[in-house]
Amino acid sequence: MQDDNPKGDDMTRRGILGAAAAATAGLAASSGARAAEQDGCRVGPPPHPKGPLVFMNYDQIELDAAYTQLSYAPMSAQIQARRASNSVEVRRRLGNPQRESYGPTEIEKLDIFRTNRPNAPTLIFVHGGAWLSGSASEYHFAAENFVNAGVNYVALDFIAVGPANGDIRVMAEQVRRGIAWVYKNAARLGIDPNKIYVGGQSSGAHLTGVALVSDWQKEHGISPAFIKGGLLLSGMYEMKPVRLSTRSKYVKFDDAMEESMSTIRHIDKLRAPITVMYGTFETPEFQRQSRDFAAAVKAAGKQVTLIEMPNHNHYEVQETLANPYGWAGRAALAMMGLGKA
């Protein structure tokens, strides 16, 4: 629930906690920066003799690098630390979000930052983290942009692939459950059920894509038209190359999982217009996946906007959500009718 502590009494405590979090994030960034410096900030796979092809023109080392963000964003630890400290600062300015449970397990919770605008749209955001990690609180950094623009911002927490025993379908179902819960509880929450949008980044964009092609009527008793638009940042939409990559060490892919979790294979179920975005400094596979998915959606006669972000790596893409003039922030607001992309 919303934090009811008086602002004055809470400011010192929050300031101390914020400073501690920023210091911790700074240590993590320093460690990551040192590791990157020792490795010479190399971008791409390590030098090696070309091996047998495993997918397209990739050998195993190249494909593994194409699904390992650190290989193409060697300073990522600094950006992730900045994301965490920026989230602390947003909570200091806006106050703590309303925390709600949407499912039966402890992790199934969501954070709501409200706008004062009546009949406002709501953006439900799904965090990334290679399916391994991440949390709603790390993505609070974007809330202030949306709240100030007249949008309710909801960030989901959900199970990671480890506790899910390697099954990303469990993650996808929790994400669907969270989205459905917001819609079904819209009246109690003071949210307009006719203005619900979804978005995600990286593995969160993958899970958002799966949600966008789900059978909402069959699985949750909801018309699929309730989602009005989707924002997909730096995602994956075809699981075959992912299954062949190093990620199969922790995702227990089988044919059924590969099929059901490949959004590009279920475009016929896509109802909402989508915006697909990626950066030119992303891994070659994350760039290709975005382009190929957008092209397939367009070929199917569905509404899609593809936005290439020059000179942004995987982590820099998400940072632009926090700025109404940033690439992703501007595109998200345009999707909800609050500006031009």
Provide the pLDDT for residue 243. Answer: 98
CA pair distance 141, 71, nearest whole angstrom: 25
Which has the closest alpha carbon to 202: 234, 157, 158, 176?
A: 234
- Are 81 and 123 contacting, i.e. CB atoms less than 8 angstroms apart? no
Say how many Å lie between the first and final Cα of the chain, rounded: 34
Q: What pLDDT does residue 40 have? A: 61
Alpha-carbon Rg for the chain, nearest whole angstrom, is 20
List the beta bridge partners of residue 100.
110
The hierarchical CATH code for the domain 96-335 is 3.40.50.1820
3-state secondary structure labels for all residues of the chain: CCCCCCHHHHHHHHHHHHHHHHHHHHHHHHHHHHHHHHCCCCCCCCCCCCCCEEECCEEHHHHHHHCCHHHCCCCHHHHHHHHHHHHHHHHHHHCCCEEEECCCCCCCEEEEECCCCCCCCEEEEECCCCCCCCCHHHHHHHHHHHHHHCCEEEEECCCCCCCCCCCHHHHHHHHHHHHHHHHHCHHHHCCCCCCEEEEEECHHHHHHHHHHCCCHHHHHCCCHHHEEEEEEECCCCCCHHHHHCHHHHCCCCCHHHHHHCCHHHHHHHCCCCEEEEEECCCCHHHHHHHHHHHHHHHHCCCCEEEEEECCCCHHHHHHHHHCCCCHHHHHHHHHCCCCCC
Mean pLDDT of the chain: 90
**Quick check: 181 and 103 in contact, CB under 8 A?**
yes
The confidence score (pLDDT) of residue 15 equals: 41
Strands 152-156 vs 196-201: parallel, antiparallel or unpaired: unpaired
Parse the chain into domains and list their residue ranges.
96-335
* Low-confidence residues of the chain: pLDDT under 70: 1-40, 341
Residue 12 has what pLDDT?
Answer: 38
- Which of 178, 183, 128, 116 is CA-nearest to residue 152? 116
